[in-house]
Amino acid sequence: MIGVVSTVRKPPARRRIAAATVDAARGAAKAPPRRIVIVLGLSGAGRNTALHALEDFGYVQVDNLPLALFDHLLSERATDVSTAEFPVAVGLQVGTTGFSASGLLVKLHEMRRGAGVDVRLVYLDCDIDVLLRRFTETRRAHPLARDGAIRDGLVDERRLLAPLRDAADLTIDTSALAPHELKALLAGQLGLADGGGLRVAVMSFSYRRGLPRESDLVFDARFLRNPHYVPALRPKDGRDADVRRYVAGDADFKPFFEAISSLLDRLLPRFQREGKSYLTVAVGCTGGRHRSVMVAEMLAKRLRNGHVVALRHRDVDAGAPSGRGTESN
């Protein structure tokens, strides 16, 4: 008796490998990208605060990771901690073992070109005088300080990190930010806040103390008449009724405010459709106390009809002086 054996021919090994590769690629395409946030900046600018904030939003935080291990953490062979289910926040500083700005830039470029990874670089900046005060309060040494000269270390650090600052997706100046404000700013800018829709931060500021680095839109109120030159109004700020009446009495105030409002009515829906989750609108004047505060208050009140709005008066809240008699309009 002759038996008949039916056989199923297997495709050549080369085809099986190709098919497996295609299947893997399809699976990767369906999987959400791994979320990775790299936090660095000047020492004392708030790296630990930012990492703890991200941890509160579900990120696994890894601080001061040597660059050799950093590459493994983000590789395809990494453990569960780097999958999309577990977003990762990595803290780096110039004192990190094997740290290299150029090396990190190369790695960032590779990651941004590849698929399956959503990587954001957050750079924390701060005024050197504020950092000096923080180092004095904590009595910690700066990793680059020579002979204990912290200012020299900060200057060198800023120079070394300049290329990374330029490559950052988000730069935050923490000079006047409280920890909870830094957390709220990170949440908004990285789309971590609860609820959908565009969240708007409105802030006032003093041009004498510099533009807010986190601002997306800036409006200049210095052309309006200045309450600083009215002795009875000088000690007050833009939240005071007398100051509001004085500024509103400027013939150009109403057209200015209506123009800003009309522009924002057009821009905010467009920003939202483009996927932006957080927008900072800044209004400045010379001292950051009267005109900018009034306009910011009115804008925030108007924008709350349809948006989640946070309001902050950067230089008034920080206790900045209102200025001397030499203040110019």
DSSP letter for each residue of 269-309: HHHHHTT--EEEEEEEESSSSSHHHHHHHHHHHHHTTTSEE
Rounded CA-CA distance 312/326 in Å is 26
pLDDT digits (tens, 9 = 90+) for 16-40: 444 444 444 454 445 567 788 999 9
In angstroms, the CA 275 to CA 31 distance is 20
Contact 278, 195 (CB under 8 A): no
Which residues pair with residue 123 across a beta bridge?
40, 171
What distance in Å separates the CA atoms of residue 267 and residue 256, rounded to the nearest whole number? 17
- Residue by residue, pLDDT tens for the chain (329 residues) are 333 333 334 445 444 444 444 444 454 445 567 788 999 999 889 999 999 989 888 888 888 887 777 667 655 444 444 444 578 899 988 877 778 888 888 888 887 887 677 889 999 999 988 988 888 777 777 777 766 688 888 888 999 999 999 999 899 999 888 888 888 888 888 877 655 567 899 999 999 998 988 899 999 999 999 999 999 999 999 999 999 999 999 999 999 999 999 999 999 989 887 767 788 999 999 999 999 999 999 999 999 888 888 899 999 876 654 443 333 33
CA 284 – CA 267 distance, rounded (Å): 20
CA distance 274 to 158: 33
Residues 6+ apart with CB under 8 A from 202: 280, 281, 282, 283, 296, 299, 300, 303, 309, 310, 311, 312
In this prediction, residue 199 carries a pLDDT of 83
Domains of the chain: 32-189 (3.40.50.300), 199-317 (no CATH)
- For 56, 127, 203, 268, 324, the CA distances from 276, given in Å and listed in that order, are 22, 28, 18, 9, 40
Contact 116, 87 (CB under 8 A): no
